[in-house]
Amino acid sequence: MSRKSLWIFLGCALISLLWKGFIVFTQRVPFNADEAIVALMAKHILQGERPIFFYGQSYMGSLDAYLIAAGFALLGQHIWVIRLVQGLLYLGFLYTLYLLGKDAFDHEKIGLWAVALSAIPVVNMTLYTTITLGGYGEALLIGNLILLSALCLEKSDSGILVWSLGFWMGLGVWCNAITLVYSLPAGLFVLYQWLKRRDLLFLVEKGALTLFGGVVGALPLWIYASQHGFFSLLSDLVGSPTVSEPYPWIVRVGFHLSWLLLIALPAALGFRPPWSVEWLVPAFIPLALVAWLAVFLWVYRQLSQPSAHRPRWWLITGVGWTLIFAYLFTQFSKDPTGRYFLPMSVPLVLGAAHFFEKAPLPKWARVTVFVSLLVYFFAGNLACALENPPGFTSQLDASTRINRKHDAELIRFLTEQGETRGYTHYWVAYPLAFESDETLIFIPSLPYHLNLSYTPRDNRYEPYNCLVNESDRVAYITTQQTERLNEIIRQQFTERGVTWKEKLIGDYLVFYNLSEKIVPNQLNIQELAEP
């Protein structure tokens, strides 16, 4: 990297960190339960635990928690440390994105333009690279490393490069299975290069070395399987936690296609935030739409015309094609947030960067397209930052969003009242545990959906259950959005002769000073809920 390029990259990296720092320290990014679980895992790692997966499931590896644990060890156990780790991972993503643009198209400026577009990216990318849900920042970085390894193997058959390709693929499967959308096109790209040699012995040797690297990279998976069995491992990896769709295959694909066009792609292109179906800065959308259309037509031209870079174009865009295929033909398409479309940013921004540098158009036309995307990305981010709450949130269901500015008051009240154990719902339990340094343990045994449906999977950490079960005194914490639940709790307490007090603190409602211990199973919540 030349000195000028280095300064450009460092400038983009600084802009990225400053923007993330602004939205974090001005509390535009609320702390939620998914993030709190990763933080608690990191805390427990420092205490000697060695989790392999996100608590309560056998997928999405704990790599993020180990990195955050290192941050906690150095800087203390603070929420901002969690976000700092995510910011550093994103800098790694930016650097590897620069290398991808440079190596794939033999032009350093293409990598720099891609980084410039990604310094303040679409809102979908900003959100999921600022908070953690357990491994998306690592998945984006590992995905780029998979693609870079494949590109390097086009020029060299070095054993260490072959092994590293398999290693990153294996590590990615453990960390976050979404990295498979990188591994498939990378594997096909490398296989295509090796088959051109027409050497079976070479192919077997390199394939075995790649497989060995994959086994080493996915070592935590094998450890888990040896402890719990392969069935337990595979049941979650293939999507058993998702709800099956009672429709014929062709109807399901039709639904998925409509969701792709109306929900997933708009989030990937920045037209909507992942927590809402409302358009972002509608006045700017036509300009951004024209810019993206120009980029798509340019990429299509590169794919359809013979050139030395054509196989590399198929490698880069293969991430997008694989992602779309998986979205259409698997059950994971039912997630409406847009997080599964994070890898789409790689072909999108590299395509835009290549258009800006190489399209045979007047410079003013290319600059217009590039600036249109830059302005739209920033406008979308700014609009979300100004709309606070919710700010940037991963929670699509508005009933699960909680105003966290009252957390300190809640912790203080519970501590003063001696109410350190009890019951609440998922979005309260784990942030409360982390923010109170685990002095307040309230297990998620209550529903948070408006229809009062509940899944035991919300209860993700068994040691907390033991602490609450052993306590003779419990309290209940609900939120204002679940008024029907509050009515049922009052009704059931009254029918069982239990006396109590109530305290409203912001969005939280605390039922405390109960005359006797009563557990959620005794309240018959689901039976009393309205259909």
Could you read off the pLDDT of 379-412 as tens digits, one per residue?
999 999 998 777 898 888 777 888 888 999 999 9
Residue 154 and residue 238 in one domain: yes
d(CA 470, CA 464): 10
Of 386, 409, 444, the residue at which a domain comes to its end is: 386
Residue 378 and residue 419 in one domain: no
370 belongs to a structural domain: yes
Lookup: tokens for 204: 């077997």
For residue 2, what pLDDT band results from cuts at 50, 70 and 90?
confident
User: What average pLDDT does the chain have?
Assistant: 90
Give the pLDDT confidence score for residue 530 in this predicted structure: 64
Domain that holds residue 457: 400-528
Residue 68 and residue 158 in one domain: yes
316 belongs to a structural domain: yes
Residue 347 and residue 429 in one domain: no
The angle that helices 345-358 and 136-155 make with each other, rounded to 10 degrees, is 50
pLDDT, mean of residues 260-289? 91
393 belongs to a structural domain: no
For residue 240, what pLDDT band results from cuts at 50, 70 and 90?
very low
pLDDT above 80 (res 228): no
Residue 336 and residue 481 in one domain: no
Residue 96 and residue 225 in one domain: yes
pLDDT above 50 (res 153): yes
Residue 422 and residue 363 in one domain: no
For residue 531, what pLDDT band results from cuts at 50, 70 and 90?
low
d(CA 69, CA 43): 6
| β-strand pairing of 475-479 with 421-424 | parallel
427 belongs to a structural domain: yes
Of 355, 386, 417, the residue at which a domain comes to its end is: 386
For residue 245, what pLDDT band results from cuts at 50, 70 and 90?
low
394 belongs to a structural domain: no
- Give, as one character, the DSSP assignment of residue 122: -
For residue 465, what pLDDT band results from cuts at 50, 70 and 90?
very high
100 belongs to a structural domain: yes
**Residue of 460, 466, 522, 526 whose CA lies nearest to 495:** 522
Residue 110 and residue 163 in one domain: yes
DSSP-derived 3-state class of residue 511:
strand
395 belongs to a structural domain: no
Residue 205 and residue 261 in one domain: yes
Residue 188 and residue 301 in one domain: yes
pLDDT above 60 (res 244): no
Angstrom CA distances, 173 to 91, 216, 279, 391, 419, stand at: 22, 12, 34, 31, 42
87 belongs to a structural domain: yes
Residue 38 and residue 67 in one domain: yes
Give the pLDDT confidence score for residue 3 in this predicted structure: 85
Cis check for the bond before 343: say yes or no (omega within 30 of 0): no
pTM of the entire predicted model: 0.92
The angle that helices 285-304 and 363-386 make with each other, rounded to 10 degrees, is 130
- State how many domains the chain has: 2
Lookup: tokens for 206: 């390199």
pLDDT above 60 (res 243): no
d(CA 250, CA 48): 50
Residue 407 and residue 376 in one domain: no
pLDDT, mean of residues 450-456? 86
Lookup: tokens for 423: 């019951």
Q: Which residue has the higher pLDDT, 307 or 322?
A: 322
Of 386, 414, 445, the residue at which a domain comes to its end is: 386
